[in-house]
Structure formats: structure tokens, C-alpha cells
A and B are shown apart, each in its own frame.
Chain A
Amino acid sequence: MSPRRRLPEPAGVTRRRTVRSALVLGLAGGAVVGLAAEGYVLAYPDPADRAVVAASIGGNPGLAALFGTPRALETVAGFTEWRVLGVLPLVGAVWALLAGTAALRGEEDAGRWDVLLAGPRSRRATTGWGLAGLGLSLLVLAVATTVTAVGTGARALDLAGTLWTAAALLVAPAVFLAVAAVCSQLGGTRGQALQLGAAVLGAAYLLRVAGTAVDGLEWLGWLSPLGWVDRVAPLTEPDGLPLAVAGVATVALAGLAALLAGRRDAGAGLLAGRRPPRSRTALLSGSLGLAARLARGAGIGWLVGLAVVGVVLGLVAPTASEALADSQLDLGLPSGGATGGVPAFLGAVFLLVTLLLSLQAAGQAAAARDEEEAGRLDTLLALPVGRLRWLGGRLAVGAALLAAGGVVAGVAAWAGTVLGDAEQPLGELVAAGLTPVPAALVVLGLGALLLGVAPRWTSLAAYGYVAAAFLLEVLGGLFGLPETVLGLSVFHQVPLVPAVDPEPATAVATAAVAALLAGAGSLALVRRDVSRD
């Protein structure tokens, strides 16, 4: 065994892994607050411009549905609030689900908790220590967010408003860490826990969308943590009640998680099937088949999620697109408005599909690293399986899943438009769904490169890149950043199909970049040690 072996100490393991990512997320999130405010001042210096922005966005129910309630968009504070709170809580919630399930379930799946549970500590206490580690991460996130937001927003925002904003930004990470803790007790594995958590996040988002978009259903927002974020209105009409609700919910869910933890067996979940498993050996004849089998469960759940998102986007497209023609200001929509309406709206909001595909690509890379870290790669490579074949199989399965995701999103959006009485051509929407696939392949290729050269950073860096690239695309336009900088984001390489025609040349070039990254990663992988730490 190599000389450095990590000790199985759950609070410690949790701390090291999550604190690092919490710090990065906090610094980035806090900076986004200040940068969004500064960017608004830069982009719209005079009141006339600001009035146009406010009118076009404020009058658009679709944008309100997707990004939350706009308030006082003609002010720096109001615009910053809308822009920041529409995007960052989603990133924070995804981080919380990944970090929470990794800490409370990933460790256990890897068998590292067995050592502890054999000692005098109970499962509940062990979970409690895991929760304590997550609480520490949340604290780090809070401090990093607050300090950075205050530092960067000092010129454009008042201090009280900035502090309220930092508090509002903590709602989603805190609640979803606790959601992840509960899901970790319910699911039979980390994968299942993550799927449950993703379903909760999806439901929370849809409840928030419905609460914002449909008159008379505003109360639905109170059922969603993302609705609470929306109601804090930190920079315009700050309200402490939603923060209090979020705090109570977090504590209650964390307590529930600890309670549930005492009621289940190690390595089992409360919802895990009681039926004896049936052996299915059809896929299990090689490393490619194994990769497909391992990706199957979570992949199907993800495709179902994409289908729901696609249908919702298609459904809201007709109403949302009505006022969109005017609001090309910072969504990066094609000028002219000739192709306005539903295609323009879908072209813009398929950004969400790009995000989901990219997250899946990062997840595939993280899963490959997990295979190595848990020692299962040793088992496989001790058989007559080469490293290239292993990685190739994983990347092929990942790429196939991403392509399937694109098709599902397109078909689902089409079905949504049919349901919403604004049918669009199926072919165009499938093309729209497939358009982000090359960009997601770049993330997959980046993951392969990380696996080859910096394996320990694979998960953090791949997810971190997706988050950074997303923020760069959503907020970067405000600053008039040069094209070369914006181009670093894969999101920037995705044409807004169906608002514009597909660009096969861009797709091929992007896919070629992905192949280069994956190739470089493969070369590095065969030249390094296979390592569990």
C-alpha cells in the first residue's frame, strides 16, 4: 500500500472534501453579487436605458417564471437581486446535494464507515458527526460569500442589502444540504440518494416557477426553498420571515436525518428495495458493458428529469415568449427578432438543458474517478482490460447518455409545445436538444483530462468548471467581456437553436476539442499510477 492512507474519520473526511468546494463556491458566489451590480452600472449608465430594461424584463412572465420575481429593475439593487437570486441558488443547491450525499452516503458506500460503526459510536452519532462536518462547510460558505459580496459590492450596493443578499444566498445550500442528509438515509446508495435529492430540487424549482408565473397560485412558492429565496427580496424589500422558515426547515430536516439514521442498517436505505435482487448478466461481458450497467440506474432517472424540464419549457414557451421580443438585452438573443416568439424563447431557455447535460458530463467524470478511488479500477485492470479500454468504455457510455439526453429534451419540449397548443416542428426541437451535446462532450473531455493529470481534482474541477462557465455565460455579457474570455465557457459555444439555425461546423469543432481533451487525458492516464488516494 502506498505510504499515505487516509484515516476513516467521517467528520474529517467530510471537512476536507466539502470545505474546499464550499470555499470556492462562496468566493465565486460572493463575487458574482458585486460583479452583477458593477456590471449593471457599466452596461446601463443612464436612467433611460434602465427603464427599458425594467420594462422589458419586468413585463415578461416567462423570464419571471424562470429566474424569479423581478422587483425595481430600474435600480442597481433591484436588478442585482433578480439576476443573482435567479441563478446562484440553483448552483448552491446542486453543490449541496453533491456534497451532502458524498459526505453522508459516499463514505458509507465505500465501506469506510464500517470501521467506525464497529467502534463505540452509533450510526446516529456517526451521521451527527457527518452533519457537523457539513455544518462547518456551510459556515465556511457563509463567511466566504459574505466577505466577498461585501468586498466586491461596496461601491454599488449598501452594506445592509449586501448582508441580506448573502443570507438569502445561503438558503438554498443550507436547506438542500439537509435535504441531501435525509435523502442519504432514504436511498439505498449514494446514487439513489442523489436522485431523490435531484427530484426534490426539480419539484422545488417547478413549484417556484408555478408560484411566480400563475396568478392566484403565489402560495405555492411557500412550499419551495427556492420560493423562500425569492421572497427574501434582500436588496429591495428585505423580509426575514422566509429566512426564518428556511432556518427552521434546515434544522428540522437535519434532525430528521439523524433520527432516520438510527433506524436503518449500515449500507441500506429506508426506501431500498426489500425484494431480493434479480441477477441480470446481459450487459456484464466486458468493461464497456459494465460501464453501461453502472450508468443505467442514475442515467434513467436523469433522462426522466430532463423530460420533465423539456415538457415544462415547451409548455410555458407560448405565454413566456409573447413579451420576449423586447427583452434581448442580456439574454444574448439574436438581433432582429425575425424569429421571435416560441423559437426565440426556447433558444434562450435551452441554456437550462445545456446546464443539465454539462452537469451529467461532470458527473460521469466524477464517477470514473470514484471507480478508481474505491479500488474497483484495480479489480478491473488486474483482469485483461487495458486502461484505454476502460476509459474509452466510460466515455462512450457518457457520450451516448448525453446524446440520449439531448434527444429526450428535444422530444419532451416538442410534446410540451403540443400540450401548450403551440406546436413546433419536431425536427427543429430535436436539433435544439442535440445542439448542447458537443459542449457537454467538452466537459466530459475535460473530465477525462483531469482524470489523467490531476485525478484527485476530477470531481471538484469538473463541477467547478461547469458552475464557472454557466455564471460566465449568464453574467459575463453584462460587462462587455471580450469574446475570448466569454469563449472559455462551453455555454458560449452553443448556438441558440431553434431561434437560429443549427451550426454543424461549430458542433464539429466543439466535438473535436472534446476529442482532443479526452485524447490528452487518455495519454496521461496510461502513464500514471493507478491510485486510491
Chain B
Amino acid sequence: MRTPAAGAPAIRTEGLTKRYGTVVGLDALDLQVQRGEVFGYLGPNGAGKTTTIRLLLGLLRPTAGRVEVLGVDAVADPRRAHRRLAYVAGDVALWPGLTGEETLHLLGRVHGSLDRAYRDELVERFELDPSRRVRAYSKGNRQKLALIGALMTRADLLVLDEPTAGLDPLMEQVFRACVREAAERGQTVFLSSHVLSEVEALCGRVAILRAGRLVSSGTLAEMRWDGALAVEASFDAGQAVPDVSAVPGVLDPVVDGAVLRCRVSGSVAPLLAALAAAGAVRVASREPTLEELFLAHYDQP
């Protein structure tokens, strides 16, 4: 049997496109997720995150383009790809008549790889009572069950589609710890989310999707570097706050009493010169948060 190239990326798409009639679900997506990274996949509802994941899983047939998972063509041979990945849906669908224990047994047996000790540890850590039927679980408990089912396989690639919807903050912490452990073990995690704090805490690289198109991708550091710096300058009372709107690189200046707030893209030197000339007493700057980066992409028409 041909083994997938060891160096192949965990996920690679080329011009991946999905149309539903005239509606574009995903438009020529080029994406690479390297082995061992925790990759954040961001976008508001309806941007195409779930469509991407269902294409990765071979559940949808692409209209055009290619998608490879761990070096295996996900459309032609999904079964081979799926032996090495595990998936958690945002809208978990399990068999209501099975108990938690039966569900985990089924998922483990059908997947083919299972770390029993880790499964038991996860059940403990997520505080799940596996003796109840799925129909009797709350949404959060169903989510936990699906997460345990995926994590216990120790699969090379974890595909998680908004996996923490319905989890309480404590369980969210457990989830984050588990993702970090998976990454330390060399597993790749593809995390689709719109919880920006979660992505910021876990992910090395991020891609932002908007209306089926990739609008930005890179490491958080790179994206921050490219993103506009937030600058806040204070002046003494009675001092005139300068008009910096004509200074190169300055965006959205706002004057609030003796405080000037603005964003700067590119070099800050022209702004600093202007502020110094105007006699600013305090200047603070910080890198944009992921939320600001995210919103910046969506503010554009």
C-alpha cells in the first residue's frame, strides 16, 4: 500500500470551490496546514467554515479544486484519510438511544485506534457520566462526549468545528489543556471557531474567511505586524490636540477631550514626530487584538 508522503502537510487545498446552485459556499480556497500546528479557522456564521470542513471530510463533492488530508486525496479516498483524523461537529449528532459508554465504544471501534487509559482520563477530566443515554444529555454534555470520542483516538489530525459551543468556562479550560497536550504530542489541530479568545490562546496560525473567500492568513504575530497599531496620546489640559489626519499611515483619528486615539499602519515615525512637535505628554501603543484584526476585515465593504 502506498503510504502518504511523511512530509505532506496535514491539510492542503488548491482552488477548492463549492457552489450550491448559484450560491457560492467556498471560492477557490488555497490553504496549507502544517503537521503539528494548531491552526485557527475564523469567520462569522455562514462564511464557509463548515463547508470547508465537510469538503475536507469528503462529505461534500467539490465543484472544483483539490483537497488533501495528510497527503491523501480526501475526495477519492476518504476512508484512508479518516483512519488518521478525528472530527467533532459544532452541532453534535449522536445516536440518542445509545449510552455515553456505548457511544465511546462505537466511536473507538469504528475508528480503529483508541487509547483506553486516555479515554478514561478524559471522561474524568470532562466530568462526564457515561452511563446515561445520549438523549438524556444536555447539549454541553453531548459536546463533551463527542470531544472525548475524538481526543481518545490520538489521531494525527483533529478537525474541530466550533467544538466549545455549549461548554461552560471550566470545561472550556479543560478543552484548551487537551488541545495543548495534543499539540505537544505532535498532533495537528484544525480549529474552526468564532470564539476569538480561544483562537488567540491556542492557535499559532490563523486564517480568516469571509463570504467563502480567504481574506487573511498567517501567524498571529505576522497578522499583528501587518495590522494597524493602536496609538493613544495624551496632552496636558489646555494644550491643543493636533490634527493628525493628514499624517501618513494614520487611520481613524478620534479626539476625546485631551486624548487622541488612532491607528497606524506602516511606520509610526511620522506620527511620533507630529505628536512630539505638538507636545504630547504620554504616548501608548499596543498591537491590535485578534478581534480588531478580525473586525477590520469585516468593516471593509
Contact = CB atoms under 8 A, between A and B. Distances in A.
Interface of A: 1-4, 109, 111, 114, 188-189, 267-268, 276-277, 279-281, 284-287, 290, 293-294, 297, 374-376, 378-386, 527-530
A285 B109 contact: yes
Would you list the 6 A-B pairs with minimal beta carbon distance, nearest first? A375-B93, A382-B87, A284-B106, A530-B59, A279-B101, A281-B105
Given A267-B135, A284-B102, A381-B78, A529 B61 contact: yes
19 contacts: A1-B46, A2-B20, A3-B46, A109-B96, A189-B96, A189-B97, A267-B135, A277-B131, A279-B101, A290-B106, A297-B97, A374-B93, A378-B89, A381-B57, A382-B89, A383-B82, A384-B82, A384-B110, A384-B111
B133 interface: yes
Nearest to A296: B97
A286 B46 CA distance: 34
Interface in B92-132: 92-99, 101-102, 105-107, 109-112, 130-132
Contacts of B109: 284-286
A109 to B, nearest CB: 6
A340 to B, nearest CB: 48
Given A1-B46, A3-B46, A380-B110, A277 B133 contact: yes
A527 B50 contact: no
Of B46, B86, B110, B133, the most chain A CB neighbours within 10 A belong to: B110
Contacts of B243: none
Nearest to B106: A284
A378 B88 CA distance: 10
A1 B59 CA distance: 12
Given A277-B133, A279-B131, A383-B110, A378 B78 contact: no
B101 A281 contact: yes
B23 A3 contact: yes
Given A2-B25, A376-B95, A386 B102 contact: no
Contacts of A268: 136
A294 B95 CA distance: 9
A268 B96 CA distance: 11
A279 B105 CA distance: 10
Majority secondary structure of chain B interface residues (helix, strand, loop or mixed): mixed
A376 B20 contact: no
B110 A385 contact: yes
B185 interface: no
Interface in B19-45: 20, 23, 25, 45
The CB with the most chain B CB atoms within 10 A, among A1, A290, A378, is that of A1
A527 B99 CA distance: 33
A278 B201 CA distance: 40
Contact of B99 (A279, A378, A384, A530): A279
Interface string B249-262: 00000000000000
Contacts of A528: 61
Interface string B69-99: 0000000001110110111010111111111
B107 A383 contact: yes
Contacts of B106: 281, 284-285, 290
B112 A384 contact: yes
Interface of B: 20, 23, 25, 45-46, 50-51, 54, 57-61, 78-80, 82-83, 85-87, 89, 91-99, 101-102, 105-107, 109-112, 130-133, 135-136, 139, 146, 159
B83 A384 contact: yes
Nearest to A382: B87
B92 to A, nearest CB: 8
Given A279-B101, A375-B89, A530-B60, A114 B110 contact: no
A111 B106 CA distance: 22
Contacts of A527: 61
Given A375-B93, A379-B94, 11 more contacts: A111-B139, A267-B135, A279-B130, A287-B110, A378-B93, A379-B87, A379-B89, A382-B86, A382-B159, A386-B78, A529-B60
A471 to B, nearest CB: 34
Contacts of B61: 527-529
A277 B110 contact: no
A1 B50 contact: yes
Contacts of B131: 276-277, 279
A1 B43 CA distance: 12
A381 B107 CA distance: 11
Contacts of B89: 375, 378-379, 382
Contacts of B132: 276-277
Contacts of A188: 135
A375 B91 contact: yes
Contacts of A374: 93
A284 B105 contact: yes
Contact of B79 (A3, A111, A386, A530): A386
A109 B78 CA distance: 30
B79 to A, nearest CB: 5
Nearest to A111: B139
Contact of A3 (B20, B54, B99, B146): B20
A378 B92 CA distance: 10
A383 B133 CA distance: 21
Nearest to A2: B20
Given A280-B102, A382-B87, A529 B97 contact: no
B294 to A, nearest CB: 19
**Which of B91, B96, B136, B139 is packed against the most chain A CB atoms within 10 Å?**
B96
A113 to B, nearest CB: 12
Contact of B59 (A3, A285, A381): A381
Contacts of A3: 20, 23, 25, 46
Instruction: Choose among B20, B25, B102 the residue with the greatest number of A CB atoms under 10 Å from its CB.
Output: B102
A300 to B, nearest CB: 14
B115 to A, nearest CB: 16
A287 B59 CA distance: 17
Given A3-B23, A381-B58, A384-B83, A286 B105 contact: no
Given A3-B20, A279-B131, A379-B93, A384 B79 contact: yes
Contacts of A189: 96-97, 135
A413 B102 CA distance: 38
